[in-house]
Structure 1
Amino acid sequence: MIGGYSTMQGPLFDRRAGEAVRSFLLESEREVAEEGVDLVRYVGGKSFRYLSSVPTGNFARGVQASRTFGGWTVRDDVIYGPWLEGVSKRNAATRFKGYALYRRAAQLLGTTAHLIAERVLPLYLRRMGGR
């Protein structure tokens, strides 16, 4: 009769890998949201460049990322934000249809989100026992 036993140890068996994956996902989401804030400000800066009637500094300061129940949200806290985006009732009553800042920023972010996650990944791979 042949017998034996094995001992399993390491990050996969002591929960370090699972915790690292969860931390990686949270950090990646946060980094993508922060990039979203930067993109909304960038798109807004390009759109507002020659308009003296839009207080760009106030709008840019109001754009922020915040953690919500389902993930992260990028939004602004200025009262005229919906009007600038083009989703206010006032847009239907005027010629101004909005800049679509968030839509344009989301399109740009959709093409770069995986690159942001790849940039964050090496730190968490080391936590999982990788090199």
Structure 2
Amino acid sequence: MSIDITMRGPLFDGRAARAADRACDDARDDVAAYAEERVLMGTAASFKTRTPYYETRVTTERVSGDVSLVHDQGVIYGPWLEGVGSRNAPVTRFAGYRFWRAAKQAVAARGPQIAEAAVQRHLPEMGG
């Protein structure tokens, strides 16, 4: 007596692994885009007279395979706008807008849901 076992499908031919990689990439990209959007929403709400320079400097950069970084490209007055600069408390009364902090809190709260949605989009490719 002999038994022939044939293994086929997304798990065995590599499609599931590739779809999982795409899901991780999409989750990272979606969370980073949400973070950038929240920062720009904060600047729009905070700045009375909007000039495009600072807002055009807010960007998302893929630092490594697993990490995307949302930053203001090192704009010199960025820490002052946020309220963490050395000149905020001792020199001026300006406490900062804190839009980066607000964006970080929003991402911490909504990030898992955003990542879950990205994974859900790829589940059919994974055979799930």
Q: Normalised by the size of structure 2, how large is the TM-score?
A: 0.84
Task: After superposition, give the CA deviation of every residue in 1:46-68 in whole Å (9 maximum; x if it has no partner).
Answer: 122xx34xx44322221111111
SS of match in other structure, 1:7: coil
Q: How many residues get paired?
A: 125
The counterpart of 1:71, out of the listed 38, 45, 67, is 67
Matched, 1:96 2:91: no
**Greater shift in the superposed pair: 115-124 or 14-23:** 115-124
CA RMSD of aligned residues (A): 1.8
Aligned equivalents of 1:42 and 1:60: distance in 2? Answer: 10
Structure 1 gap ranges (5+): none
Aligned equivalents of 2:39 and 2:99: distance in 1? Answer: 6
Aligned equivalents of 2:41 and 2:52: distance in 1? Answer: 12
CA contact (8 A) 1:86 1:100 kept: yes
Task: After superposition, give the CA deviation of every residue in 1:59-94 in whole Å (9 maximum; x if it has no partner).
Answer: 222111111135011111332111111222112422
Structure with the larger RCO, 1 or 2 (CA within 8 Å, 6+ apart): 2
The counterpart of 1:86, out of the listed 79, 83, 88, is 83
Aligned equivalents of 2:54 and 2:44: distance in 1? Answer: 10
SS of match in other structure, 1:66: strand
CA contact (8 A) 2:11 2:126 kept: yes
Aligned-pair distance for 1:121?
2.9
CA contact (8 A) 2:24 2:119 kept: no
Q: Could you tell me which residue of structure 2 aligns to residue 41 of structure 1?
A: 40
Aligned equivalents of 1:66 and 1:56: distance in 2? Answer: 22
Q: Normalised by the size of structure 1, how large is the TM-score?
A: 0.83
Identity across the alignment (%): 38
Structure 2 gap ranges (5+): none
